[in-house]
Homo-oligomer: A and B are copies of this chain.
């Protein structure tokens, strides 16, 4: 038995493009499932999560890899992170440019920790690399192709950037001297903000890996680091004998860093003594994000989402029964997601969850018992 959860961002997904978002989630689930289904693949959960993220990065619809939001200077700069539940290793890349699939860098970093030789002179292997150094390591050590910047810029991203830069330049040209005066400027459309993509994979050996990748927020400053590359914030995975969990976050990166949302939700699931998983996730999202004391001075809406898989019971023991639970919760307008569990579903379930006037957050939950 294996399971896959993916999401194409907690943000806003135009209803007119809903089919396309579902398709990319379907393809991401399928890419992970192909790997999880192959008994010859080593580090299956790790490779499957990376494969799912790569599909999401390659889509111009998502804010990761090709088609990412452009930074203030008009370039693509990406963050990505990856955590392995069995080894508890987290690796990441921050603010890297000219790499088609940023998630490949943390994958190679983590494999270097798991399989590379120990340094005879005691050099410590890095967990996180950023900027030009990350790009060089990707090329020289991991053999990842470096592309010209324009190869990662989509037509839509360029247009969004022109519109946003126009707003800033218009404001700078004005002589507005107070917030009141300049608050009349048209804000970017909510629908233009798309966030971090993510994937969680549970493999047949019982390992769970969680991965996220992001192009960051529109007009971000060059060198800005978002939650996808920060320990505990963009993804979390832990495997214990009785409970395993993997989760990934999406939304406003700075808020997800301040609240360390991935780790906090995972930690409460691992400590579960009673209470259903949806109740735990709902309570944690409310307490650790919406009502968090770390966000008490926020000047913008609290926009976040979490997607994850919990696995109770020993998945490595085929005679015991294992419960796989898939969950998500978001305070953003929408969340595009996909979910697949082998032996229970013939194809991935893909959908776009939307919050409504009566439901200030969107959430859902599926549970499967596998014997």
**Contact at A88–B293, with CB atoms within 8 Å?**
yes
- A93 and chain B: residue at smallest CB distance: B223
**Contact at A297–B87, with CB atoms within 8 Å?**
yes
**Contact at A95–B224, with CB atoms within 8 Å?**
no
> Shortest CB–CB separation between residue A306 and chain B, in angstroms?
17
Any B CB within 8 A of the CB of A252: yes
Any B CB within 8 A of the CB of A175: no
Any B CB within 8 A of the CB of A30: no
Q: Which residues of B contact A254 (CB under 8 A)?
A: 124-127
Q: Which residues of B contact A183 (CB under 8 A)?
A: 120
Interface string of A105-122 (1 = CB under 8 A from B): 000000000000110111
**Contact at A185–B231, with CB atoms within 8 Å?**
no
Any B CB within 8 A of the CB of A129: yes
Any B CB within 8 A of the CB of A136: yes
**Contact at A122–B300, with CB atoms within 8 Å?**
yes
**Contact at A95–B133, with CB atoms within 8 Å?**
yes
**Contact at B223–A133, with CB atoms within 8 Å?**
yes
**Contact at B121–A223, with CB atoms within 8 Å?**
no
Interface string of A84-106 (1 = CB under 8 A from B): 00011110001100000000000
Number of interface residues of A (CB under 8 A): 62
Any B CB within 8 A of the CB of A318: no
The stretch from A213-221, A273-281, A319-327, A362-370 touching chain B is A213-221
Q: Which residues of B contact A43 (CB under 8 A)?
A: none
Any B CB within 8 A of the CB of A305: no
Asked, given contacts A88-B258, A126-B254, A221-B137, whether A179 binds B120 with beta carbons under 8 Å apart, the answer is yes
Any B CB within 8 A of the CB of A260: yes
Interface string of A237-274 (1 = CB under 8 A from B): 00000000000000011100110100000000000000
Any B CB within 8 A of the CB of A315: no
Copy total for this chain: 2
Any B CB within 8 A of the CB of A225: yes
Any B CB within 8 A of the CB of A299: yes
**Contact at A129–B299, with CB atoms within 8 Å?**
no
Q: Which residues of B contact A122 (CB under 8 A)?
A: 187-188, 300
Docked complex Cα distance between A39 and B124 (Å): 45
Any B CB within 8 A of the CB of A222: yes
Q: Which residues of B contact A167 (CB under 8 A)?
A: 121
- A96 and chain B: residue at smallest CB distance: B223
**Contact at B121–A187, with CB atoms within 8 Å?**
yes
Any B CB within 8 A of the CB of A128: yes
Interface string of A131-172 (1 = CB under 8 A from B): 111101100000000000000000000000000100110010
Residue from the set A164, A219, A224, A294 with the largest chain B CB neighbour count within 10 Å: A224
Docked complex Cα distance between A43 and B223 (Å): 26
Docked complex Cα distance between A128 and B130 (Å): 12
Any B CB within 8 A of the CB of A233: yes
- CB < 8 Å: which of B88, B219, B300 contacts A294? B88
Docked complex Cα distance between A168 and B122 (Å): 11
- Spell out A's residues near B (CB within 8 Å): 77, 87-90, 94-95, 117-118, 120-134, 136-137, 164, 167-168, 171, 176, 179, 182-183, 185-188, 217, 219-225, 230-233, 252-254, 257-258, 260, 293-294, 296-297, 299-300
11 contacts between A and B (CB under 8 A): A90-B258, A94-B225, A123-B217, A126-B221, A129-B224, A129-B225, A131-B131, A132-B223, A133-B224, A137-B222, A230-B231
